[in-house]
Amino acid sequence: MNLKLTILGCHSATPRVNAHPTAQYLEINNRHFLIDCGEGTQRQMRKHKVGFSKINHIFISHLHGDHFFGLIGLISTLGILNRERDLHIYGPEGIEEVTNLQLKVSKTYSNFSLVFHELSSKESELIYEDEKVFVRTIPLNHRVYTNGFLFTEKENQRNLNMKAIAKLDEIETCDYRSLKIGKDFVLSNGKTIPNSELTFDPPKPKTYAFCSDTSYKPDIVPIIENADLLYHEATFLSDREDLAKKTKHSTARQAAEIAKMADVKSLVIGHYSSRYKELESFREEARIIFDPVHLAEEGKEFIV
């Protein structure tokens, strides 16, 4: 399993008893990311058994309350839990000032450092990279400065063909590293064995694109093209496309059109307006344009 997305909250605007604002937990290539953090996210993490300590990087799409009002509580709790490792926070300009002021007035002192990465570019940019994963922004169009995030695994190493290796009787464990990165092997008699005979193709790197909140914005298509999994907000159905336009949100149909144009493998929609009492209509509307489409629901996991 390379990529697992857990929905912690998927509704818009105001938290209700069984409708939590946006928060997602992403496991990708052994990295653990939190995406958005509406009020109550730390409770949702406990409910769905998401470990607090594994998360070192939190990505906040924009500074509307339903996407970040839970951040200060989570940070405060990490302090109480005696966290010591740095916590990196990526989000729009202003996130550092507002977080620090809350920590100051509540006299919250902890043993770990907050490292803020404030975003202001209107172009897609690389904001995180390690040896396994990188993250780029997806500039969105909302009432405030907003980014989606594209999480991409780095090219995996080749898998060893142990049967073929054993047959040669000349390859040692210390040679594995160069085989995994694609090098051919030269035998003691000078003969070269092509790498393809000693290894299998690695699994294709996986990508997850998170796009919330945004109006219909086809120019994100080149950034998210061929993603394995796309989450795209669908606050309204097409019956209220006027309201979607006015509030800079999307309809289920528009989310599906983006998925289709980007030729992604699978679409998840969410951020439902509270005016809709049932969610199946969102799936039905989207499915006319694109398939497969899934509804984000609290606790649901998507595994690629």
For residues 23 and 39, the answer to whether their CB atoms sit within 8 Å is no
Q: How far apart are CA 90 and CA 23, in angstroms?
A: 14
Question: Binding pattern to its own copies, positions 87-106, x when CB under 8 A?
Answer: -----x-xx-xx--xx-xxx
When asked if residue 240 is in the footprint of its own copies (CB under 8 A), the reply is: no
The two tokens of residue 138 are 């997806």
Question: Binding pattern to its own copies, positions 41-80, x when CB under 8 A?
Answer: -xx--xx---------------xxx--xxx-xx--xx--x
- Give every CB contact of residue 242 below 8 A, 6+ residues apart in sequence: none
Is 232 annotated to bind a ligand? Reply is no
Q: How far apart are CA 35 and CA 25, in angstroms?
A: 6
- Pick between residue 185 and residue 272 the one whose CB is nearest to its own copies: 272
The DSSP result for 255-304, as a single string, is: HHHHHHHHT-S-EEEE-B-TT-S-SHHHHHHHHTT-SSEEE--TT-EEE-
Is 271 annotated to bind a ligand? Reply is yes
Is 213 annotated to bind a ligand? Reply is yes
Whether 66 is catalytic is yes
Ramachandran bin of 298, using left for φ above 0, alpha for ψ from -120 to 50, beta for the remaining angles: beta
Please report, as residue ranges, which positions from 139 to 198 form the binding site for its own copies (by CB under 8 A): 143-144
Q: Which of 3, 5, 35, 40 binds its own copies (CB under 8 A)?
A: 40
- Catalytic residues, by residue number, are 66
* Binding residues for its own copies (CB under 8 A): 13-17, 39-40, 42-43, 46-47, 63-65, 68-70, 72-73, 76-77, 80-81, 92, 94-95, 97-98, 101-102, 104-108, 143-144
